[in-house]
Copies of this chain bind each other. A is one copy, B any other.
Amino acid sequence: MPISPRHPRYRSLVVRARLADATRSGLVVPEGLIAHGRGETFDYLLGERTSPSARRAERAAAAWVRAAARPVLSINGNVAALASAEVARLQSTYPALGVEVNLFHRVPGRAERVRDELRAAGVTDILGVRPTARIPGLPSDRARVDRRGIWVADVCVVPLEDGDRTAALRALGKRVISIDLNPLSRTTLTADLPIVDEVTRALGHLADDLARPLRGGRPGRFPPFDRARAIADALATIDRRIKRAAGPRWPTAGSRG
């Protein structure tokens, strides 16, 4: 049944339908759908738009990507299903940013499925389909990366990443930029530069910023980022939203004893 554009949650429903289809085709795993649902709630509580604080984090991330010798963007099934178009735009804007398939749930054929989704959107030079290195300290499959990509990267952009992997990348001395709607996830709490924003908005803004003439973030010079402040800002945004919701316009139905 087609989704009515008049539905109050139209955009959410369209994205959900896209992810559900992507599960049927094996691009997204069931665990990825549950993770998406968790993110949906946080996005709702954050007002479903990029906060000024998140926008600052995105600008800082663009400066870090510019400052990096070998920046890499990590792509899993959910990112490919939701944001392949933004990844393609980002790559054409800033070709030095490597793109690597990096799966938490590695099932035979799935890396190829993610690669194909990216390719269909116009992404080229995709790393990680046949991993050639292992990150220490992580169980088997979750550790597998590309020797030309994440393995040698100095800055890793990890959208919708797992907390253990974020910590393992950081332990290797890499600067980690996370994109995660949960301001309290282990990923957000562990990353050097956490972007608390929805993945298509964040990657789109990153592409916008990298398309502009250089301003700060020269090679090897990473402008400082106040991560504690970024997390506190996101929590404050949610807090305001909850307070507004608790206001006089609820509940909608009449009382009935």
Copies in the complex: 2
Residue A192 at the chain B interface, CB threshold 8 Å: yes
Q: Does A239 contact B (CB under 8 A)?
A: yes
Instruction: Name the B residues within 8 Å of A37 (CB-CB).
Output: 33-41
Q: Determine the distance from Cα of A170 to Cα of B1 in the docked complex, in whole angstroms.
A: 24
Contact residues in B for A222 (Cβ distance below 8 Å): 257
Digitize A68-94: 1 where CB-to-B-CB distance is under 8 Å, 0 elsewhere: 000000000000000000000000000
- With the chains together, A224 CA to B81 CA distance in Å? 47
Residues from chain B with a CB closer than 8 A to the CB of A239 are: 239, 242-243, 246
Binds B, one of A114-122, A124-132, A209-217, A228-236: A228-236
Chain B residue nearest to A190 (CB atoms) is B253
Question: At the interface, yes or no: A139 with Cβ under 8 Å from chain B?
Answer: yes
Interface string of A17-50 (1 = CB under 8 A from B): 0011001100001110111111111101000000
Residues of B within 8 A of A189 (CB): 250-253
A30–B25 alpha-carbon span in the complex (Å): 12
Query: Which chain B positions have C-beta within 8 A of A34?
Result: 16, 19-20, 33-34, 36-37, 40
Chain A contact-residue range equals 35 or more
**Alpha-carbon gap, A243 to B183, bound state (A):** 13
Contact B36 A224 (CB under 8 A): no
Known: A34-B20, A239-B243. A41 touches B224 (CB 8 A): no
B232–A246 CB distance below 8 A: yes
Within the complex, the shortest CB–CB distance from A30 to chain B, in Å, comes to: 4
Question: What's the nearest-Cβ distance from chain B to residue A20, in Å?
Answer: 4
Interface string of A184-204 (1 = CB under 8 A from B): 100001111000000000000
A233 to B, closest residue via Cβ:
B246
Nearest CB on B from A54, distance (A)? 15
In the complex, residue of chain B having the shortest beta-carbon distance to the beta carbon of A234: B246
Q: How far is the CA of A228 from the CA of B257 in the complex (A)?
A: 12
Q: A239-B243, A250-B189, A257-B223 are in contact. Are A16 and B41 (CB under 8 A)?
A: no
Measured between beta carbons, the chain B residues less than 8 angstroms from A41 are 37-38, 40-42, 182
Q: Is A112 an interface residue (CB 8 A)?
A: no
In the complex, whether A148 has a CB less than 8 A from a CB of chain B is: no
Known: A20-B34, A189-B253. 13 other contacts (CB 8 A): A1-B139, A20-B29, A23-B33, A30-B30, A34-B36, A35-B37, A191-B253, A226-B255, A227-B251, A227-B253, A228-B250, A238-B242, A239-B246
